Amino acid sequence: MADSTSRSQSVDELFAFETLLDTEEKDIRATVRAFGTDRIRPHLADWFEEGTVPARELAKELGALGLLGMHLEGYGCAGTSATAYGLACMELEAMDSGIRSLVSVQGSLAMFAIWKYGSEEQKQQWLPGMAEGNLIGCFGLTEADYGSNPGGMRTRARQDGSDWILDGSKMWITNGPVADVAIVWAQTDDKIRGFVVPTDTPGFTANTVKKKLSLRASITGELVLDGVRLPESAMLPEARGLGGPLGCLNEARFGIVFGAMGAARDCLESAIEYSKTREVFDKPLGGYQLTQAKLANMAVELGKGELLALHLGRLKDQGELRGEQVSVGKLNNVREALKIARECRTILAANGITLEYPVLRHANNLESVLTYEGTSEVHQLVIGQALTGSSAVR
């Protein structure tokens, strides 16, 4: 057993996590962490309390760092590895889930949809400006009554000569009220298709969702499409059916696998530091066996989750990552991150409910992360089907 004066270690040191990273990955991680310390963290409590974030300003700064669509090739994108992108997500969500969501929706949903399924004209028109952060995108798939079952969406696109006319609505759309372009998925006579919709198109409106108790440092909206007329060239030519939007969601879920561990790490680091200085019965709280048991259990789950994320990142870089493996990562890491946030709150006691510390803010955010980009139940069914070969949905 270590003696009572041994130096305290971080979870990264405990698991020797950095020894598994290359120089570029370490540099990206350090750059994003420093940006968070200098630019984001001083304002998070105010943004969360006010229920807003300077999305346009931040998008340009994040774009200048090369973080928007960073794992995509060409069109002004940085072209990093998937693992490097994941590590950036980890650092972004260590700040706040809303900040990571801004980057994920921009790069892994809106930009990825154009990059993967768009025409060359669409890529040239939108991707460079989005990579710079001068243009903001959003992703319109979810509807008020169709979350886990997006195939039932009511939004409809019908042809009128060579044009398309879109009618319907989308709900819980991150970046929606500030977006310059929306990727909107709609039912057509030829399955579900995606459309690139400039938000200044007549008939398109975005209403801000207010009174949220979670993801408050993020802008969420409802998209309303009332006779939105688009040229034929607005359709994403390479996406037909649910495979298109679901492919985008897998990209976003991958970032969440890493990101959730960033939120958990921030909570645990806060709890550890608090336990060293808070005295109870003339002794630091961290010197009690019950507190150390909590910290040890959380550190083990955090370390396991970080190693799982890194493993999935390596698989993705090798082109071998499967959808059910992303579900394993999302299910485990978000579930464990939320448990860690809640447990850390107990260590901070009453101080844990204030915005002076990040734990309850992270816990509130993780309640949303637990159910967006696929609920835990949906991911359990994906994993269950992989294990049994039988779908429990249909």
Catalytic residue numbers read 373
List the beta bridge partners of residue 221. 173, 208
Q: Which helix (H) or strand (E) holds 133?
A: none
Strands 156-160 and 163-174: antiparallel
* Residue that the structure tokens 């919709």 belong to: 197
**Is the Cβ–Cβ distance between 167 and 184 less than 8 Å?**
no
Tell me the residue ranges of DSSP E strands in 95-252.
137-140, 156-160, 163-174, 181-188, 191-198, 204-208, 220-230
- Cα–Cα distance for residue pair 53/60, rounded to 1 Å: 13
Integer angstrom CA distances of residue 328 from 186, 240, 242, 246, 393:
29, 26, 21, 16, 18
Q: Distance between CA 381 and CA 203 in Å, rounded?
A: 38
Beta bridge partners of 168: 225
In the block, residue with structure tokens 């890529």: 123
